[in-house]
A and B are shown apart, each in its own frame.
Chain A
Amino acid sequence: MEYEISLLTTMGISVLFALSLNLITGFCGQISLGHAAFLGIGAYTAAMAGKAGVPFLATLPIAMVLAGAVGIVVGLASLRVRADFLAITTMGVGFLFVGFVRQQDWLGGELGVSGIASTGLSKTAFMALTLALCVAAAALSLYIRAAWMGRVFNGIAEDEDTMRVLGIDAPRYKLVAFAIGTALAGLAGALYAYQLKFIDPGSFGFVDSVTVLSMVVVGGIGSVTGVAIAAALLSALPAWFQFIGDYKLLMYGGLLFLMMRFAPGGLAALAERFFTPTPDSGEPSQP
């Protein structure tokens, strides 16, 4: 039972992390190849705050605020660059984070931080909290998509210049997407630190940014349900099949490529195509 609880917690954290990227990349169309940095900022913030004696529940909002604040700074870069240049910029932010942490002795340097404070919760209660936060993030995502903010994000994702001609302050909306998305990543990072009790810079590198991006792409960019399912499945796979751990980058990179090439809409679009009775493409063959 202990194993299942631990696995469910891991899956919950992954889903939360993937949903956070989905807000930025899926909803608002801003690609990020350095999202693991924000998971790392949340994790290190919670770990250090916990060590300093801050109670568990108080470390969560602190982690969110710090990750969100750095997210806004990175978001400012998104105002200047677009699409592929933004991908490279965010990738750089990811490397910068790892490079920075490795050099900081007070953050444990290469060795990382161990002996992270206890949450004071039982494993089951921690799992329940993680899953509850996960559901809350999914609910927030669904709400944003239904609200006017979601419509604006959608428009910016498609054509930012047209949105400006419609009087939409696109830069400000992009910053908001970065702020919310990176704050949620910070929350996921804090939970990650408390679950593993040990963090090191290697857990927040490029591979992890690609992993979370592949979760979003496999699920269907922008689809809350699709991304949640994909993140849950893909995070459980390495636990079920040990060998995947050794070929993580190959597998996630390959999945990313295959989905982009053959099913750019992800699982969500595949499901929709499967369940829609008469798709447009089927019409010509109808009598």
Chain B
Amino acid sequence: MNPVVNPAVNTSSSPAAPLLSVDGVTVRFGGLTAIDGVSFDVFPGELLGLIGPNGAGKTTMLRSITGVVRVTEGHVTLEGQRLDALPIQQRIQRGMSLSQQLVRPLRSMSVIDNVALAAGSAKTVRPLRSLLHVARTEELAVARQMLARVGIAQHADQSPATQPLGVLKRLEMARALALHPRLLLLDEPLAGLNSKEARALADTIADVNRQGVTVVLIEHNLGEVMRICSRLVVLDNGRKINEGDPRTVMNDPTVRAAYLGGDAVSHAAAQGGPHA
């Protein structure tokens, strides 16, 4: 057993055991190698930015952590336990949660019901337990709190079907937070938000992290990434090309070349100030 709860620690020299460990992960789709032998650790209390140009394999990396995608080689371990054989739902039950890039709200229920369903995870872990519990006052309270936290409390009783992308992105994150994860995986949570909203949500992410939740953040808005992340892992063409302190990493010529080789203009613009 490791005394892992030690938030807000700069872990570059910390001896703490990693919360999540990605070890030599390779993912192939047919003949295409999407991820090629990537290894990195995520330490308790960290806010790790996983960045790279479009098509670098960031989302695939995140999906192989959650189990949506099966790794071809290598291992993913959470607190020393291998996750390889576990289906998605069991990985989530072990304390990780995912805010997806492509929003997937349940459109048959209201915004707050979406979040309350996630907040009831303790009651839905087994069918029998879910049959014996009816009340959801607590879950609705938690849901309301999470919606307020991401700034969409005013949309609580509306249908997700009528909401703009910006609201749905934040709904996705509220739902992930409602699972009370120890490890929060965020896939482009700021996309589709204007600069003010993006800044506010980035502050919320930093806030959540300060309260002890370890975060892995995929984000194209490099301005916000540089502002809130404590460490970066950079992927390009499925390989890890650098890792470390944000400023040092971004000054690395290889990283710059990777971005300039891609759609450099929009990212340079994003660095100056995110566009809506």
Residues of A near any B CB (own CB < 8 A): 143-144, 146-149, 151-152, 154-155, 157-159, 161-170, 172-173, 176
The distance in angstroms between the C-alpha atoms of A276 and B133, with both chains bound, is 30
Residues of B near any A CB (own CB < 8 A): 66, 68, 87-90, 92-93, 97-98, 100, 104-109, 113, 117-118, 120-121, 123-127, 129-134, 136, 175, 179
Q: How many residue pairs bridge A and B at CB < 8 Å? A: 87
Q: Is the interface of A mostly helix, strand, loop or mixed?
A: helix
**Could you say which residues of chain A place their CB within 8 Å of the CB of B130?**
147-149, 151-152, 173
The distance in angstroms between the C-alpha atoms of A167 and B68, with both chains bound, is 12
Q: Using CB atoms, name the residue of chain B closest to A176.
A: B127
The distance in angstroms between the C-alpha atoms of A98 and B136, with both chains bound, is 45
Contacts A149-B127, A151-B117, A152-B130 hold; do A164 and B89 have CB atoms under 8 A apart? yes
**Could you say which residues of chain A place their CB within 8 Å of the CB of B88?**
164-165
| Contact of A172 with B108 in the complex, beta carbons under 8 Å | no
**Could you say which residues of chain A place their CB within 8 Å of the CB of B121?**
166-167
| Contact of B87 with A164 in the complex, beta carbons under 8 Å | yes
| Contact of B66 with A165 in the complex, beta carbons under 8 Å | yes
Q: 5 pairs across A/B with beta carbons < 8 Å?
A: A147-B131, A147-B134, A148-B133, A164-B88, A165-B104
The distance in angstroms between the C-alpha atoms of A255 and B92, with both chains bound, is 43
| Contact of A162 with B104 in the complex, beta carbons under 8 Å | yes
A33: shortest Cβ distance to chain B, in Å? 23
| New contact pairs (20) apart from A148-B133, A166-B175, CB-CB < 8 Å | A144-B131, A147-B131, A149-B127, A149-B131, A151-B130, A152-B130, A157-B108, A158-B108, A161-B104, A163-B89, A164-B89, A164-B92, A165-B68, A165-B92, A165-B97, A165-B100, A168-B89, A169-B90, A169-B126, A169-B127
B275: shortest Cβ distance to chain A, in Å? 29
The distance in angstroms between the C-alpha atoms of A227 and B66, with both chains bound, is 39
Contacts A146-B134, A164-B87, A166-B121 hold; do A172 and B107 have CB atoms under 8 A apart? no
